[in-house]
Amino acid sequence: MFLRLGLSSFGGPVAHLGFFRAEFVERRAWLGDAEYAELVAVANFLPGPSSSQVGLAVGLHRAGWVGAGAAWLGFTLPSALLMALLGGTLAGGAADGAGWVQGVKLAAVAVVAQAVAGMWGALVTDRVRAGLALGAAAALLVLPAWWPGAGGWGTLGVLGLCALIGWRVPSGAASGAGALRVPVSRRVGGTLLALAAVLAATFAALSALGGGWELLWATFRAGALVFGGGHVVLPLLEPAFVPGLLPEGVFVAGYGAANAMPGPLFTFASYLGAAAAPALGLGAGLGALLGTLGIFLPGALLMLGALPFWSALSGRAGARAALAGVNAGVVGLLLAALYTPVFTGAVRGPADLAGVLLAYAALTAGRVPAWVVVPACAALGALLA
């Protein structure tokens, strides 16, 4: 069942959640609307890939730990394999100048612009959140000049400041205790949360050794910080891979391709692991495997660990206010990434900008899905090269 969804679920996490509801609430009646809504709420509250986290929880609800594992594999594997194959093809940056790659990069600009616009409308709810979003974007654009070695730590600091301001200046978001019941004890949940913290500390310490440890930490750190949707993984991963491990063009092209795939957008890390493998002294297959495990593991541990504590956590107004601040900050994070590396890595002149505008018009005014726009831009780029 989840394998079929992994092969056919295009459209991003919001669309995936719609597919899940139609299949598991309406068609199969594995859980009710109220239970499903609570699972979605938990996933949105936590960092990580929301649609994958909901699928994991549905599998757990239906068939225990085996069901959770089967749900994750079925939904993730098709996209991860396709992205790993593409990453292995582009390893080393040899195809960076190809016409089809340039077409995918221009499509990526339009896709990210659409994501920024949509997330702004959903998450920037008042003047305070607008200030946080714009301030975060400005800080992240100038931070590399002020602090060249900041990398992902600078991003973490900006998001932490947004959480603090959000907590001190509440948005008025509604709060209320949840009523979700899950087959996970608090002891097991606490163990999983502790394991996530231990793995983070371990990977951070071992990343200095380079190789697979560096890849694991880069992807694990990004997966542990992604609030606000899968698109936010782009700016979180970019400092770790560009320019040290990958050319900017290869990085942006992979992100564009990920938007044309079914299943979770987080399989972008499968592509990055395969593409960066030569620079890390790894085989493409091992790089893809480590990238995939690294990006998904923190979200899975946090989701499964937090489920038994959700009722108490969801009733805290301060937690929801801090999350509102973080969500505004991630909009700014994505806005900064729209300029660099996405726009600066793709648009070389007026003709490229015209292509971006046409792709954006197709996505928005034409309502053409990304999985159609991205291949069309790739084909057009190959023809015009």
What's the pLDDT band for 229 if we cut at 50, 70, 90? low
- Res 72: pLDDT: 95
Give the residue extent of every domain in the chain. 1-171+183-384
**The pLDDT of residue 193 is above 50:** yes
Nearest C-alpha neighbor of 112 from the set 213, 228, 255? 255
pTM of this structure: 0.77
- Res 170: pLDDT: 66
What's the pLDDT band for 150 if we cut at 50, 70, 90? low
> Diameter of the chain by CA atoms?
60
Q: Is 179 left (phi over 0), alpha (psi -120 to 50) or beta?
A: alpha
What's the pLDDT band for 176 if we cut at 50, 70, 90? very low
pLDDT digits (tens, 9 = 90+) for 327-368: 788 788 878 888 987 898 889 899 999 999 999 999 999 988
State the Cα–Cα distance between residues 354 and 357, nearest whole angstrom: 5
Mean pLDDT of the chain: 85
Mean pLDDT of 42-70: 89
- Res 180: pLDDT: 59
- Cβ-based neighbours of 358, under 8 Å, separated by 6 or more: none
Position with higher pLDDT, 229 vs 292? 292
